[in-house]
Amino acid sequence: MVLDSLDAYIEILSGYIYDDDKLVTYKWLSKELEIHVNITKQVLWEFWQRYRKEKDLEATFMLIGYLEDGEMRIEVVKESHLEGAKEKFTKLISEHLYSLQKTLPDLELLAMVDDGDCQYSAIKCKEAVIRSDDELLKLRWGTQWQKVKQIDSDNKDKKQVAGKIESKAAEKTNIFDKKGPAGKKSLKTQKGAFNNFFNKVDHQQVSVNSTSPKVTEKTEEKKDGVNNVGNNKTSKLAKSPPTESKNEISNAFNSFFGKTTGVSSKESDSEYAKNAVTGMEVDSSPKKESPSMKKDSSMTDSMIENNKNITNSKKPTKTNKSTSKSRGKKRQRSGGTHSAENKRKRITVISDSSEDEEESQEEEKFEEDIVPEEVPSPAKTTAPSPPLVKREQGKRKIRKILDKTFEDEDGYLVTKKVSEYVSCSDEEKEVTEIEKPKTVVHPKNSKNTKQTSIMTFFKKS
Amino acid sequence: MFEARLVQSVILKKVLEAIKDLLTEATFECSDCGIQLQAMDNAHVSLVSLNLRSDGFDKYRCDRNLSMGMSVPCMSKILRCASSEDTVTLRAWDNPDTIVFVFESPNRDKISEYEMKLINLDQEHLGIPETLYSCVVKMPSQEFARICRDLSQFGDAMTIACSKEGIKFSAAGDYGTANVKLAQTAETENQEEAVVVEMKEPVKLTFSCRYLNSFVKATPLCAQVQLSMSAEVPLVCEYQIGEIGHIRYYLAPKIDDEEEN
């Protein structure tokens, strides 16, 4: 890096941190300065090195590595918890500054920082796309949405666009919003709501902190961060890596999901993570019937209880039995905390596909067996947000949901909705179409008339 | 030899004022009949036709037909040197390269001579067909000048619509629209103030205000102006020059762009 540009960046960064009181994450900074994320990491590091002693400066770190059980973990921790957090890793793949700020009372506040720009991202592949609100919702609130989607797609196939259902969906959404404190809306649109959510649920954490490498990105990266908040709030709360509870949970999940998902129950500990994750993913499979949902919530409740008992947590027990709470918890588990959201969102598609295949496979079976019942909560079929648009090699690309058909390993033809960036030629035209000024002899003339020449009337003699 | 004597130099002065906005150079055709001038403006949108009959001059002699190219601004400068009461005499030799303007004061105690170089100009004489116009309007020249000046503030173009009732001038622009209607006046009224419409069929034409404003520079020449219009032919704006002759302005109309394409 050129030194003076570094100085310039650092000056700008200083302005962001000390003048604007911003929480500067490397992603956000890369967007602001329009530089690659790796450079912003260096800038942040340089800044931190220079000013950590002199000024109020709080840093958070991102740690990526493997745990003892071989699971991958991504974590954002405060500086003060850095060493402790590092000990958990057997192998640390990456450690870098995540953000710099004057003060950071809550780690979750980082979730409110604006997204980065994938243009400057270090991750370059076509799967690395930021998920739409819809997709996130689906992932987070699997069953209901999935069902709805299924029905909807059925209807679509029959060319019967169910306006009724859609309207119902809207209503239902509202109801859900009322029900769940966290709401059904996405992180992005409801940051405030999400904050509430965290305030409420941080006492009933279930420490689901690891995943199988395959689905790494899906799990919450910031469980520890959440715990830290817990620590801050209830100062006595010990760090709780509740492996026992894990087992409990995983068993619980295994027993629950084992039947329905058809995922063969493997040995618990390494497997639990998978299940913990599938807990949320399987959720999204249409298999789930409403009774199972009930089960689910009751299960989660019981899990919470277990967790409490086992970890001897000193957290004040709040009323957390309501379905809304358990939903919140589930959501937290699946949705994770927000600062990691970008990353997770980008990568999930890969792991998703396999899951989706399973799902769709199961869907088919499911459809054979069960006539799809009246859906309680049809979802909106259209994305609430405008289609994502990005520029790639000068071409405008738009994110679209496309139907793709492929053969899965069992030889079934599976049609799946895949969101892809498609170059949109139509809109491209719109952009490139530049209005050429009409060649009018007298452009001032408002009446669009043309001055004729006297020569057209009188010929040379 | 060519010699033309005009007691009222002021007429020539006014003629020059009337053409100098439109023309920079013009060829004066001198013949036994008189002096004629025909020239287009640079944009070839309007045409000026000036006719000064020989019998209007106090003394007129033209042995050979002459075409004298003159710079209008230069000629205007020279004529400004003449007092209104002066008598003007134009004098040139056969195959001239200069023309002499002689100004004599009324009591002949002051004689000024101005010699102006002639310029070679390409002859661009246009044949103007005899036209029977659908509408011929006679109106006070000052009124016309006033309307042109007022309406040009509203738009670049002015629409002149002529019907039995009278003549309507209208302009539209960013600020709004302007409409001036003149009704035919009774025949009994003062002839100079009369508005007379001779109409075969109604006409509505649009013209550039800029040129009309140049035409009305001829207002001092005559109390009345005659506007002749037919659909899709140039407007004729004619001022009589005393008993000597007339000056006619032809202005090509503006037409709808779509029609042209």
Whether the per-residue pLDDT at A15 is higher than 60: the answer is yes
Among A71-80, A140-149, A369-378, B12-21, the minimum mean pLDDT is found in A369-378
Q: Do the beta carbons of residue A324 and residue A179 sit within 8 Å?
A: yes
Interface test with B, best of A441, A453, A454 (most B CBs within 10 A): A454
Tell me the nearest-neighbour CA distance from B101 into chain A, angstroms. 31
| Residue predicted with more confidence, B250 or A450 | B250
Yes or no, beta carbons of A451 and B45 under 8 Å apart? yes
The predicted pLDDT at position A447 comes to 53
Yes or no, beta carbons of B156 and A457 under 8 Å apart? no
The predicted pLDDT at position B218 comes to 94
Whether the per-residue pLDDT at A261 is higher than 70: the answer is no
Closest B-chain CA to A445: B156
How far, rounded to the nearest angstrom, does the alpha carbon of residue A444 sit from its chain's CA centroid?
55
Q: Give the sheet arrangement for strand A449-451, strand by strand.
A: A449-451, B254-256, B203-208, B157-162, B166-172, B177-183
Q: Chain A partners of B156 at a C-beta cutoff of 8 Å?
A: 442, 444-446
Summary count for chain A: helices (H), strands (E): 15, 9
Yes or no, beta carbons of B44 and A454 under 8 Å apart? yes
Q: CA B224 to CA B192: how far, in whole Å?
A: 6
Whether the per-residue pLDDT at A18 is higher than 60: the answer is yes
Report how far apart, in Å, the C-alpha atoms of A54 and of each of A57, A323, A412, B68 are. Answer: 8, 49, 64, 93
A349 pLDDT band, cuts 50/70/90, is very low
| pLDDT, tens digit, 9 for 90 and up, residues B171-228 | 998 888 999 999 988 776 778 888 999 999 999 999 999 999 999 999 999 999 999 9
Residue ranges of domains in chain A: 3-104, 133-369, 389-432
Interface test with B, best of A453, A455, A457 (most B CBs within 10 A): A457
What Rg do the C-alpha atoms of chain B give, in angstroms?
20
pLDDT average, residue stretch B158-176: 90
A437–chain B Cβ distance below 8 A for any pair = no
Interface test with B, best of A438, A444, A451 (most B CBs within 10 A): A451
How far, rounded to the nearest angstrom, does the alpha carbon of residue A337 sit from its chain's CA centroid?
9
The predicted pLDDT at position A258 comes to 43
State which amino acid sits at residue A352.
D
The predicted pLDDT at position A39 comes to 85
| pLDDT, tens digit, 9 for 90 and up, residues B37-49 | 999 998 999 999 9
CATH code that applies to domain B135-260: 3.70.10.10
Q: What is the DSSP letter of B164?
A: S
The predicted pLDDT at position A97 comes to 87
| Residue predicted with more confidence, A438 or B211 | B211
| Residue predicted with more confidence, B163 or A438 | B163
pLDDT average, residue stretch A292-314: 46
Yes or no, beta carbons of B40 and A446 under 8 Å apart? no
Q: Do the beta carbons of residue A90 and residue A5 sit within 8 Å?
A: no
A456 pLDDT band, cuts 50/70/90, is confident
Report how far apart, in Å, the C-alpha atoms of B173 and of each of B153, B158, B162, B177, B256 are. Answer: 9, 10, 21, 6, 16
Percent of chain B residues past pLDDT 90, beyond the cut? 73
Yes or no, beta carbons of B251 and A454 under 8 Å apart? yes
Adjacent-strand bridge partners of B112: B103
Closest B-chain CA to A447: B256
| pLDDT, tens digit, 9 for 90 and up, residues A377-431 | 444 444 444 455 555 565 666 666 667 777 777 777 777 776 666 665 554 444 4
The predicted pLDDT at position A229 comes to 42
Q: CA A365 to CA B127: how far, in whole Å?
A: 93
Q: Do the beta carbons of residue A318 and residue A203 sit within 8 Å?
A: yes
The predicted pLDDT at position A317 comes to 42
Whether the per-residue pLDDT at A209 is higher than 90: the answer is no
A439–chain B Cβ distance below 8 A for any pair = no
* Residue B29 Rama label (left phi>0; alpha psi -120 to 50; beta): beta
Q: Chain A partners of B257 at a C-beta cutoff of 8 Å?
A: 440, 448-450
pLDDT average, residue stretch A287-310: 46
Q: What is the ipTM of this complex?
A: 0.78
The predicted pLDDT at position A41 comes to 87
Q: What is the dihedral of CA A286, A290, A291, A293, to 10 degrees?
A: 80
Whether the per-residue pLDDT at B84 is higher than 70: the answer is yes
A443–chain B Cβ distance below 8 A for any pair = no
| pLDDT, tens digit, 9 for 90 and up, residues B111-145 | 999 999 999 888 778 888 888 999 999 999 999 99
Identify the CA nearest to A67 among candidates A93, A88, A95: A88
The predicted pLDDT at position A142 comes to 65
Q: Chain B partners of A456 at a C-beta cutoff of 8 Å?
A: 252
Among A44-48, A244-248, B149-153, the minimum mean pLDDT is found in A244-248
The residues of B whose Cβ lies within 8 A of any Cβ of A are 40, 43-47, 124-129, 155-157, 172-174, 206, 208, 233-234, 250-258, 260
Q: What is the DSSP letter of B193?
A: G
Q: What is the DSSP letter of A18?
A: I
Q: CA A2 to CA A76: how far, in whole Å?
A: 29
Interface test with A, best of B257, B260, B261 (most A CBs within 10 A): B257
Identify the CA nearest to B29 among candidates A461, A96, A84: A461
Whether the per-residue pLDDT at B97 is higher than 50: the answer is yes
| Residue predicted with more confidence, B137 or A167 | B137
Average model confidence (pLDDT) across chain A: 59
Name residue, tokens 């894990």. A246
The predicted pLDDT at position A181 comes to 43
> Which of the listed ranges A106-115, A177-186, A436-445 does the model predict with the highest average pLDDT?
A106-115
The CATH number of B2-117, from 3.20.20.140, 3.30.1360.120, 3.90.550.10, 3.70.10.10, is 3.70.10.10
Q: CA A176 to CA A137: how far, in whole Å?
A: 12
Closest A-chain CA to B174: A446
Q: CA B261 to CA B248: how far, in whole Å?
A: 31
Architecture of the A3-104 domain: Alpha-Beta Complex (3.90)
The predicted pLDDT at position B62 comes to 93
Whether the per-residue pLDDT at A217 is higher than 50: the answer is no
| Residue predicted with more confidence, B54 or A118 | B54
Q: Do the beta carbons of residue A353 and residue A140 sit within 8 Å?
A: no
| Residue predicted with more confidence, A229 or A8 | A8
The token pair at A390 is 């990005």
Q: Do the beta carbons of residue A268 and residue A293 sit within 8 Å?
A: no
Q: Chain A partners of B157 at a C-beta cutoff of 8 Å?
A: 445, 447, 449
Q: Is B237 helix (H, G, I), strand (E, B) or coil?
A: strand
Ramachandran angles phi, psi of B17, nearest 5°: -60, -30
Q: Is A336 helix (H, G, I), strand (E, B) or coil?
A: coil
What would the DSSP string read from start to end of A424-448?
-HHHHHHHH--PPPP--S-TT-TT-
The predicted pLDDT at position A176 comes to 44
The predicted pLDDT at position A156 comes to 47
The token pair at B116 is 């102006």
The predicted pLDDT at position A384 comes to 46
Nearest to B252 among A446, A448, A453 (CB): A453
Report how far apart, in Å, the C-alpha atoms of A227 and of each of A76, A97, A153 are. Answer: 11, 20, 40
Percent of chain B residues past pLDDT 70, beyond the cut? 97
The predicted pLDDT at position A434 comes to 46
Whether the per-residue pLDDT at A341 is higher than 60: the answer is no
| pLDDT, tens digit, 9 for 90 and up, residues A105-143 | 888 777 777 776 666 776 766 666 666 777 777 777 765
A58 pLDDT band, cuts 50/70/90, is confident
Yes or no, beta carbons of B206 and A449 under 8 Å apart? yes
The predicted pLDDT at position B78 comes to 94
What would the DSSP string read from start to end of A215-243?
GGGGS-TTHHHHHHHHHHHSTTPPP---H
Whether the per-residue pLDDT at B251 is higher than 90: the answer is yes
Report how far apart, in Å, the C-alpha atoms of B98 and of each of A177, B19, B35, B74, B236 are. Answer: 99, 21, 17, 13, 33
Q: CA A339 to CA A336: how far, in whole Å?
A: 9
Percent of chain A residues past pLDDT 90, beyond the cut? 0
Closest B-chain CA to A440: B257
Enumerate the H helices of A284-340 as residue ranges: 290-311, 323-335
Sign, CA torsion A220/A222/A224/A229:
negative
The predicted pLDDT at position A12 comes to 85
Tell me the nearest-neighbour CA distance from B197 into chain A, angstroms. 24
Contacts A–B by Cβ distance under 8 A:
82
The predicted pLDDT at position B213 comes to 94
| Residue predicted with more confidence, A396 or A16 | A16
Tell me the nearest-neighbour CA distance from A438 into chain B, angstroms. 11
Among A78-92, A119-133, A359-373, the minimum mean pLDDT is found in A359-373
A405–chain B Cβ distance below 8 A for any pair = no
Residue ranges of domains in chain B: 2-117, 135-260
Nearest to A457 among B172, B252, B260 (CB): B252
- Same fold: B2-117 with B135-260: yes
Cβ contacts of residue A9 below 8 Å, gap of 6+?
Answer: A33, A35, A43
Whether the per-residue pLDDT at A305 is higher than 60: the answer is no
